[in-house]
């Protein structure tokens, strides 16, 4: 497997850990940094046998809407007992998709893993995991890659157009997995570009236009969170050019709205509060 792009500081931490891999490793980091890719690279590097557990729906892998069921975890009991020699590395990607029962079942595996069995958990939201799981794992927070690494990666992806590069850098600087998706999936790029435009309207449009934006995302929690992230990015650029207390206050309001929506708050109401 080709080595993924990793921030130099994160790579140093990983290289030291992998000299004597812990029994359970917890990889965290921002969406788009490539947690799953890095987890599978680690597994292929240090493991003799590897298994990957992904969210499923209707018995098929479904990253968007799937879950990791208790049955998926229980199947690992037999698999972990079948290893004869060498290292079995089990990667659980989107680990936060394990429900309470699945997490309790996984906890039993962590408590009695069997000889030669190691686990890698990958999640952008470790707070959704039981504390009894996270306390048993060595956590590493993977940082976004550097500006130089991002530029070199865009070169590798063949992005030569200056405007397109500027758009990609705004949407996903430092996030190799997200950059790859944006470059390879034109429909997804258009979707993200539309959110950026809406974020500008949320900040700079008329009250009517801002309320329209709030209404557009009322049933799209993930989209609303991305909208607020993009709006914060626009304000941060403005602050770097010309610091103003009013802009800092706006960022704080966006952060509060983000936290409320992330905690299952009413999306339309949270966005409307930013306008009114």
Q: Output the pLDDT for position 133.
A: 96
Q: How many CB atoms are closer than 10 A to CB 15? A: 10
Q: What are the 10-residue block averages of pLDDT along the chain, 276 residues in total?
A: 92 90 94 95 92 92 92 88 80 96 94 88 95 95 96 95 94 96 96 95 93 93 94 85 77 93 92 86
Distance CA(56)–CA(71), nearest Å, equals 11
Q: Output the pLDDT for position 239.
A: 75
The architecture CATH gives domain 8-141: 3-Layer(aba) Sandwich (3.40)
Structure tokens at 276: 């009114």
Q: Output the pLDDT for position 114.
A: 79
Distance CA(228)–CA(200), nearest Å, equals 10
Q: Output the pLDDT for position 154.
A: 96
Q: What is the 3-state secondary structure (H, E, C) of 104-142?
A: HHHHHHHHCCCCCEEEEEECCCHHHCCHHHHCCCEEEEC
In the chain, residues under CATH classification 3.40.50.300 are 8-141
End-to-end Cα distance, the chain:
51
Q: How many CB atoms are closer than 10 A to CB 244? A: 12
Side-chain-side CA neighbours of residue 17 (13 Å): 21
Distance CA(165)–CA(161), nearest Å, equals 6
The answer to whether 218 and 267 have CB atoms below 8 angstroms apart is yes
Among residues 149, 113, 92, which one has the least CA distance to residue 22? Answer: 113
Q: Output the pLDDT for position 241.
A: 64
* Residue reference for tokens 């969406």: 31
Q: Output the pLDDT for position 249.
A: 87
């Amino acid at each position: 497997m080709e080595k993924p792009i990793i921030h130099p500081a994160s790579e140093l931490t990983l290289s030291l850990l992998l000299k004597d891999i812990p029994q359970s490793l917890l990889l965290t980091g921002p969406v788009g940094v490539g947690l799953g890719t890095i987890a599978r690279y680690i597994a292929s590097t240090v493991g003799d046998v590897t298994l990957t557990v992904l969210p499923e729906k209707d018995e098929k892998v479904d990253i968007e809407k799937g879950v990791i069921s208790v049955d998926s975890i229980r199947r690992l009991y037999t698999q972990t007992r079948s290893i004869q020699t060498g290292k079995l590395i089990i990667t659980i990607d989107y680990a936060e998709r394990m429900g309470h029962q699945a997490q309790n079942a996984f906890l039993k595996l962590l408590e009695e893993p069997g000889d030669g069995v190691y686990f890698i958990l990958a999640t952008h939201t470790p707070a959704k995991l039981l504390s009894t799981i996270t306390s048993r794992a060595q956590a590493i927070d993977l940082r976004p890659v550097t500006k130089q690494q991002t530029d070199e990666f865009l070169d590798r992806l063949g992005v030569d157009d200056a405007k397109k590069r500027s758009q990609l850098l705004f949407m996903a600087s430092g996030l190799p997995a997200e950059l790859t998706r944006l470059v390879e999936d034109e429909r997804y790029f258009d979707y993200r570009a539309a959110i950026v435009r809406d974020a500008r309207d949320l900040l700079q449009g008329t009250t009517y236009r801002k309320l329209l934006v709030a209404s557009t995302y009322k049933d799209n929690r993930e989209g609303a969170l991305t909208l607020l992230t993009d709006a914060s990015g626009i304000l941060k650029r403005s602050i770097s050019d010309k610091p103003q207390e009013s802009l800092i206050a706006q960022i704080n309001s966006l952060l509060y709205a983000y936290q409320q929506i992330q905690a299952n708050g009413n999306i339309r109401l949270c966005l409307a509060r930013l306008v009114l």
